[in-house]
Chains A and B, each alone.
Chain A
Amino acid sequence: MSKQILKELSDLVNAQVITDETAEKIKSYYSGQVSHSTNRLFIVFGILGALLVGMGIVLIIAHNWDILPKVVKLATGLLPLLIGQTIAGVLIFKKSDNRTFREATGAFLFAAVAISISIVSQVYNIEGSLGNFLLVWTSLTLPIVYVLRSSMASLLYISGITWYACEVSYFSYPHGHAWWYWLLLILILPFYYLEFLKDGNKNNFFYFHSWLLALSLTVCLGVFADNHGELIMIAYMGLFSAFVIVSELPTFNTGRVISNAFLVIGSLGVIISLLILSFDFYWSEVIDSKNLTEGIEFAVSIITTLIASVLLFIHLRGKSLTEINSKSFAFIVFIALFSIGLSAPTMAQLLTNVVILVFAVNTIRNGAQRNHLGILNYGLLIITALILCRFFDTDFSFVVRGLLFISVGIGFFATNFYMVRRRKRQA
């Protein structure tokens, strides 16, 4: 893009659209940007290099060289840790602000810690569970994030604690509760605040952090599902609603849908959850449920609901109801549905369908108002998904279902056609 503009500068000056002075200013502006992008490239390759070297050492160590004596094996395995710490030490003593070195060292040290624990386990045939290994590894790597101010180490750390929670609570049998995950997650949040939110630093690392944090929370909230699994849906609705609210706060709002992880995951989470809940299997579980307040799921539901409520309250202070994304209220609506479902499951199921329809219509209206084809089509997709779900569990005749699909198809075509024409007219 910049190259194209630079090429046309002389033409623009000749045509007296811009002055020589303006052309020079534009040139100097883009030359400054070139060095910026080169720097970014260095960071990417630095991190990639460090990670590849780290993983390479892991694989070489994993070969387990029989010919080497125990001491040599241990020394070789611990050497990367020493190298990583030495480089980190030099960077700290010199108070270096070199981003490439900080990120690459952070990534390398992250791998070196895993190598050091692995080599000792290998030499002494220490079995240990993968969950425990991940817990120790990630705990030892947390200081790297703060000491080196390494965003890459932070991203690896978040991935590591998520893996730990999944390993302990989902992948291993008997399942355990990954309580440490929550503490470890809280411990990384100050970095997220200091590095990105405090100064409104919305760079690529901010987007990756937001995506990883939102995904990690979404995946790991399910670890609380135990004997009262049906209650966890209230917790999820609270979480997704909180995501949608957060995505609209100026601190998190990125101006683009794809880079706003909280909006994408929150909105999709609300809709997908509601679509799942529009089937009868969930509501038949709800009516059979007893002693709901006794499980951990109840406490978790209360906490997420409280968080979403506080966020909504803060958000509502500055805006009117109509300005707020309707999915921000999903948690309140769902609590009402759940309460109805405890005595009248069929009614709750029917109302869930209505709620999805209302969200879809609202999304379409929002897309039309903002002249945003993506949002508009998202609303239409919600309706299509709802009809698809009903395709499987209703007694509607094929003719009725066919007519419904045709109607939605025409709706897709008509609304898009209308929007494109409106855009042309405005242009």
Chain B
Amino acid sequence: MKTVALPLFVVMCFAQWLIPGKMIYDSETVIVEGTTYKFKTQPIDPSDPFRGKYITLNFEANSIVTAQNAHWESGEDVFITFTTDSAGFAKASGVFRERPDTESFLKTSVNYYNTYENFEVFFNIPFDRFYLEESKASQAEQLYWQAQSDTLQVAYGLVTIGKGQAVLTDVMINDKSVINIINELNADKD
């Protein structure tokens, strides 16, 4: 075992840096080259044993109505393209089985296919977690619920979408970052 220890150690080190390295590279590429959208949202506040506290965002743009029945299966891989509505928020503009030839699209899977009233594809959103400092997660949640009950306030996630991948960069309430709002609130208390 000793003879292979050194080459195996080199391979191990390479692999252990490759995975986080690739994750960083992919995310940075999306941030630099992707298109940024505003996704309207509602939140809840859970916790992850490894990554800490986060708010789960419940995005409204999670479905698209198709013109005809294309028999989408739950769990099937799909590619979604987005556009913006009149208020400037993201909405799905197309659903494809093959990689579309567009500047930005999201690779995800079908959640379920509703054929009751019209042919509507509900898809999974792979960027619905926003990690916050431990002490701020529940405050952020409260702010969100206030924003939801107050129809004048608008909450949305800033999402940059590249070729398949997406990165959630910030969560905003009335065009102001949720982290800044909490910091200001805490400063006022002090």
Contact = CB atoms under 8 A, between A and B. Distances in A.
Task: Please say whether chains A and B are actual partners in one complex.
Answer: yes
Interface of A: 58, 61-66, 74, 78, 81, 85, 88-89, 92-93, 95, 113-114, 116-127, 133, 136, 140, 143-144, 146-147, 149, 174, 194
Given A74-B24, A81-B16, A125-B168, A64 B11 contact: no
B116 interface: no
Contacts of A140: 12, 15-16, 19
B129 to A, nearest CB: 5
B24 A120 contact: yes
Contact of A122 (B4, B51, B169): B51
A133 B54 CA distance: 17
A125 B131 contact: yes
B53 A64 contact: yes
Contacts of A118: 50-51
B122 interface: no
A118 B1 CA distance: 31
Given A63-B134, A124-B167, A194-B1, 15 more contacts: A62-B48, A62-B49, A64-B53, A66-B133, A85-B16, A89-B13, A92-B6, A120-B20, A121-B51, A122-B131, A124-B23, A125-B131, A125-B169, A140-B15, A146-B4
B128 interface: yes
Interface in B10-45: 11-13, 15-17, 19-20, 23-24, 27
A85 B16 CA distance: 9
Interface of B: 1-2, 4-6, 8-9, 11-13, 15-17, 19-20, 23-24, 27, 48-54, 74-75, 126-134, 136, 167-169, 179, 183
Contacts of A65: 133
Nearest to A174: B75
Contacts of B27: 120, 124, 126
Contacts of B2: 95
A126 B20 CA distance: 12
B142 to A, nearest CB: 17
Contacts of A74: 24
A89 B167 CA distance: 35
Nearest to B30: A124
A117 B19 contact: yes
B52 A61 contact: yes
Given A74-B24, A147-B12, A66 B1 contact: no
Contacts of B23: 117, 120-121, 124, 126
A140 to B, nearest CB: 5
A117 to B, nearest CB: 6
